[in-house]
Amino acid sequence: MKRWQKISGCVIFGLGAVIELLLVCNAYLDLKYIVEPFDIQDIIERMYLSIDSLSCAMWINYLVALGLFVYLWKKGGEQ
């Protein structure tokens, strides 16, 4: 990989992590102030489960992409 590709990849992954954190926080805030005031326990439990599942899926996706980036970084250095 070229130097600019490495730098841009690091910046993009840093921004991606921040964006994913903000998305998870936003989902919990929506749940707290939009869903919970109605106090329907079944819906609240389902929403927490959905948010947790989506959060795990986002982080797994992020880590897989990061792993591929590191692999390409190391592979590019061997040439």
- How many Å apart are CA 46 and CA 41, to the nearest integer? 9
> Taking all residues of the chain, what is their mean pLDDT, rounded to a whole number?
88
The CA distance from 52 to 58, in Å, is: 10
**Confidence at 43, pLDDT banded by 50, 70, 90:** confident
How open is the CA angle 22-25-27, to the nearest 5 degrees?
A: 110
Q: CA dihedral in degrees (43, 49, 55, 57; nearest 10)?
A: -120
pLDDT interval class at 79 (50, 70, 90): low
- pLDDT tens across 24-37, in order? 899 889 888 988 88
- Distance CA(13)–CA(15), nearest Å, equals 5
